[in-house]
Amino acid sequence: MHIQPLPRRRFLKFLSLAPASMSILSVNLRADDLNSLGINCQIFNSSQLDVFIRYGQILFPSDETFPRKIDREAIQRIDEEIFFVKPKIQKDIKLALDLFEYLPITYGYFSRFSKLEVNQRLEFLTELEKTKSSTVSLMNQGIRALLLSCYYGHEDSWQAIDYSGPFAGIPEKLSAQRQTYKILTENK
């Protein structure tokens, strides 16, 4: 599929309408397998979480040398990271996820991002690499960077890439914030 993206003015107009349409559409259209991933979010709603999950399915390594459990834990870690930053950053990231969910429509796909088939998602993300829109570039860059940094920041990914980890095998030491988040999500 190769469909020209909307001109910038039409795209921005669409974005301005997107939040209103989302509140209607998001009622009945949630993916049904998210609960099985067992991610307890403090920051993101199920729609925003869905964007991370569907993006991760395309972006994360598929090679069996990478343990599958990292996928879920990386996305859980994104929620933790964003939980402790200031509200302005939280708001920007949530807005980016909300807009990203509807971005494929402006590229000619008659579907939200999370509802695209796997091959369509790959095609769409590949198209985004060519965009000259700073808004789209920033959204994509931000979501992608969160996914990848939390994936490869995960200890279980290191063996597959031959990274020896912290020098001298220093053990993990959880900060007060990490402990707080752990309690919050375990009790949810």
Partner 1 sequence: MKNIFEYTDLLNDQVINAQVCIIGSGCGGATTAALLAKQAIDVIILEQGGYYPSKTFDNRELNMAGKISAQRNFESTEDGAINLLHGNNVGGASVHYWADSYRTPQDRLELWASEYGIKDHDINDLTPAWDELDKTLHVHEASEDFYNPMNKLVRSASKKLKWHGKPVPQARKFCQKSGHCMQGCVFDAKQSQLITHIPNMLSNGGRLYADVKAKKLIVKEGTVVGLEAAVIDRRINQESGVKLTINADVFVVAAGGFSSSAFLLNNGFKSKLPALGEGVAMNPSPMVHALYSHDITQWRNIPAAYGIDEFRLARYDKDTYREGGFMLMPNQLHPAMIASSLPGIGREHQELMKNVNKIGGTIGWIDDPFDELGTISVDKNGKRIVSYPMKFKTQAMLKDLIRKQIELNFSAGAERVYLGSSKPFIFESMKDINKLDDFDIYPGQLIMGAPHPSGGCRMGENKKTSVVDSTHRVHGFDNLFVSDSSVFPTGVSVDPSYTIMAFSYVASRNIQDQLKNTRSPLY
Site residues, partner 1 (CB under 8 A) = 58-63, 66, 77, 81-82, 84-86, 88-89, 92-93, 122, 125-126, 129-130, 132-142, 144-146, 148-153, 155, 157-158, 160-163, 166-168, 170-180
Q: How far is the CB of 153 from partner 1 (least distance, A)?
A: 4
Q: How far is the CB of 42 from partner 1 (least distance, A)?
A: 11
Tokens representing 177 are 């914030």
Give the nearer residue to partner 1 in terms of CB position, either 30 or 144: 144
Q: How far is the CB of 158 from partner 1 (least distance, A)?
A: 7
Give the nearer residue to partner 1 in terms of CB position, either 32 or 162: 162
Integer Cα distance of 115 and 64 in angstroms: 25
Tokens representing 78 are 């994104």
Q: Is 152 helix (H, G, I), strand (E, B) or coil?
A: helix
Integer Cα distance of 69 and 30 in angstroms: 22
Integer Cα distance of 40 and 152 in angstroms: 21
